[in-house]
Amino acid sequence: MLLSLRVKNLALVEQARLEWGPGLTVITGETGAGKSILIGALKLLLGERADRKWIRTGADACGAEAVFDVSGLKDFPSLLEELGLPPAEEGQIIVRRIVRESGAGQNLVNDSPVTLQALKRIGQRLVDMHGPYDHQSLLDPRFQLDVLDAYGGHEAERAVCAEKYRVWQELVAQRVALQGGDEEVAARMDLLQFRIKELEEAKPEAGEDEAVAQEHSVASHAQRILELGQGVLGALQDGEEGNAFDSLATAQRALEELARLLPEAGEWRNEARAAAQQIQATAEAIREAMDRVEADPSRLDWLEQRLALYQRLKRKYGVDAAGLVETLEESRSALKELSERGERLAVVEKKIAAAQAALQAGARALGKKRRVSASALAKAVTAQLRELGFPHGAFDVALGDVEPGPTGGDAISFGFAPNPGESQKPLREIASSGEISRVMLATKAVLAKHDKVPVLIFDEVDANVGGEMGIAVGRKLAALAESHQILCITHLPQVAAQGSAHFAVVKRVRDGRTFTEVDALDADARVDEIARMLGGKNLTKVTLQHAREMLRR
């Protein structure tokens, strides 16, 4: 149940706070007073996209806040948990929306930020809103099917159909992929065969491209490398006319004698010995490296060809040597799949036939239940319509067969005969807007017994009706309010008089600015408001007496 609604700086509303109770609450006011602002605030809280144009002139932000009692909704805690929201303390949740001029708005549930999608899911569980043009949805076969399934409780069977249709659709997509044009497939296979042949002949190995490039760099400069290496070895150790090793050996002998005369020379001797050892190690490493350098023209020619091959393949396929290996494996797999596509297509065809049979079976099971529910729904709506001014009217739900899809295999049409002696015709062909409004209300009344949404909002559901029909609509709303909390915006005094609570929306001007305000009406104020709705601003004894009589009844 909606406990309270607070609105701030939304359009013409500077501040408004409304406390809601159970039963039927009516909201009235002159055209243009701002009744729709309250509906806009609720839509904002239920996840509708915000518009900065809603911010009141001079303010930098607008917002709305609603408090809901969810203690009676058994599955609501699991929804909050699924959305990652804290539990409802004392069975209540607080929903807030703030829209800022800067664009950085906030969506909060129990002070935790949420997405608009989460707000919509919460809103769908709490509030069912019916606007002045929503009755047109009754003419939409998709909505009609939703109504029938909601009434009959066919959610499980419909979910089965949707899943079976999804499986069938995926298999059909696989078949389309496998049935690609023969010329296209043949061209693809030729390309893969050429690619495989090219790469198999190349025999790429991961990392070989870098190794070949490095070896080629050495081989192409082998002569110079050997010359420089021999020169370095001569300077370090192999030179006959003096080298670094022999010089250090001479120095070590001198330092041996010097150390006996000068103690600190012992450390110098050790350092000279270490330097000689390092020279030996370095010379040995250079010698080993020189032994590996080949000045072989044939090896250099092979390296150049191999390097050129890698460079060409890497440019062609846009990968390194490891990528060439992967491309080869992927091409082999792709060619195998295409070669075996006939076998795979046969398997998919069998699966499609089985999926189609399963879908048809699911659609038949759903259709069987729908036909039982259709008769009951037609009788239930007809009974409600007779209380709404169609004493001889008749409502019908006609079902036909169509190709099974995600919603089953049934075509649906709501039929209506408002007057005696007339045959049933599709609702879209005969109903006036006033008649459609009452059919929608009758449908809502029937579904209310099956509807778990606790709050129903009707925005001008009484459009294009009046007189006795207005009284009937008001009574029907009051009857609905026995099982749901009903909020109704109305222009009809016959409907307003049925409310258990009454708010009036008024437009006032102060200091040159316009304000929309919401007044909670007591008994005397309700008489005045009903009288205004009956006869305009100039209240007379007759209209006041009429208003009192309507409220008394």
Give residue 135's pLDDT: 61
pLDDT tens digits for range 332-383 = 998 887 777 778 888 999 999 999 999 999 999 999 999 999 999 999 999 9
Q: How far apart are CA 82 and CA 469, in angstroms?
A: 45
Which residue segment(s) compose the domain that 55 sits in?
Answer: 1-132+460-519
Considering the domain boundaries, does residue 98 fall inside one? yes
Please indicate, yes or no, whether residues 5 and 127 belong to a single structural domain of this protein: yes
Considering the domain boundaries, does residue 432 fall inside one? no
Domain boundary among 319, 343, 368: 319
pLDDT tens digits for range 283-304 = 888 888 777 777 667 777 888 8
Please indicate, yes or no, whether residues 128 and 3 belong to a single structural domain of this protein: yes
Give residue 180's pLDDT: 67
Q: Tokens representing 372?
A: 């039982």
Considering the domain boundaries, does residue 333 fall inside one? no
Please indicate, yes or no, whether residues 488 and 549 belong to a single structural domain of this protein: no
Give residue 431's pLDDT: 58
Pairing type for strands 24-28 and 485-489 reads parallel
- The residue that leads in pLDDT, 39 or 460, is 39
pLDDT tens digits for range 527-537 = 988 888 887 77
How many structural domains is the chain composed of? 3
Q: How far apart are CA 360 and CA 236, in angstroms?
A: 92
pLDDT tens digits for range 59-80 = 889 999 999 999 888 888 888 9
* Amino acid found at 299: R
Please indicate, yes or no, whether residues 44 and 109 belong to a single structural domain of this protein: yes
Q: How far apart are CA 87 and CA 110, in angstroms?
A: 8
Give residue 291's pLDDT: 73
pLDDT value at 155 more than 70: yes
| Averaged pLDDT, 464-470 | 71
| Averaged pLDDT, 439-462 | 80
pLDDT value at 447 more than 70: yes
- The residue that leads in pLDDT, 91 or 290, is 91
Considering the domain boundaries, does residue 104 fall inside one? yes
Give residue 543's pLDDT: 82
Give the model's confidence band at 255: pLDDT under 50 very low, under 70 low, under 90 confident, else very high. Answer: confident
Give the model's confidence band at 501: pLDDT under 50 very low, under 70 low, under 90 confident, else very high. Answer: very high
Dihedral of alpha carbons 304, 306, 309, 313, sign = negative
- The residue that leads in pLDDT, 147 or 215, is 147
Considering the domain boundaries, does residue 257 fall inside one? yes
Please indicate, yes or no, whether residues 71 and 97 belong to a single structural domain of this protein: yes
Considering the domain boundaries, does residue 147 fall inside one? no
Please indicate, yes or no, whether residues 213 and 243 belong to a single structural domain of this protein: yes
Please indicate, yes or no, whether residues 111 and 124 belong to a single structural domain of this protein: yes
Structural contact between residues 99 and 54, judged by C-beta atoms closer than 8 angstroms? yes
Give residue 67's pLDDT: 93
**Percent with pLDDT over 90 in the chain:** 27
pLDDT value at 541 more than 90: no
Considering the domain boundaries, does residue 146 fall inside one? no
| Averaged pLDDT, 534-544 | 78
Considering the domain boundaries, does residue 219 fall inside one? yes
| Burial tier of 333 (Cβ tally within 10 Å: 0-12, 13-18, 19+) | exposed
Please indicate, yes or no, whether residues 125 and 1 belong to a single structural domain of this protein: yes
Give residue 428's pLDDT: 75
Q: Which of 201-210, 291-300, 541-550 has the lowest mean pLDDT?
A: 291-300
Structural contact between residues 279 and 237, judged by C-beta atoms closer than 8 angstroms? yes
Give residue 260's pLDDT: 83
Please indicate, yes or no, whether residues 552 and 475 belong to a single structural domain of this protein: no
Please indicate, yes or no, whether residues 471 and 548 belong to a single structural domain of this protein: no
Give residue 463's pLDDT: 65
pLDDT value at 89 more than 90: no
Q: How far apart are CA 384 and CA 462, in angstroms?
A: 15
CA angle 255, 261, 262 (to 5 degrees): 75
Structural contact between residues 369 and 375, judged by C-beta atoms closer than 8 angstroms? no
Model-level pTM? 0.60
Label residues 288-313 b or e (16+ Cβ within 10 Å = b). eebeeeeeeeeebeebeebbebbeeb
Q: How far apart are CA 208 and CA 204, in angstroms?
A: 7
Give the model's confidence band at 3: pLDDT under 50 very low, under 70 low, under 90 confident, else very high. Answer: very high
| Averaged pLDDT, 119-142 | 79
Please indicate, yes or no, whether residues 14 and 56 belong to a single structural domain of this protein: yes
Q: How far apart are CA 502 and CA 520, in angstroms?
A: 6
Mean pLDDT score of the chain, rounded to an integer?
86
Residue 104, domain CATH: 3.40.50.300
Please indicate, yes or no, whether residues 231 and 302 belong to a single structural domain of this protein: yes
Give residue 399's pLDDT: 95
Give residue 432's pLDDT: 64
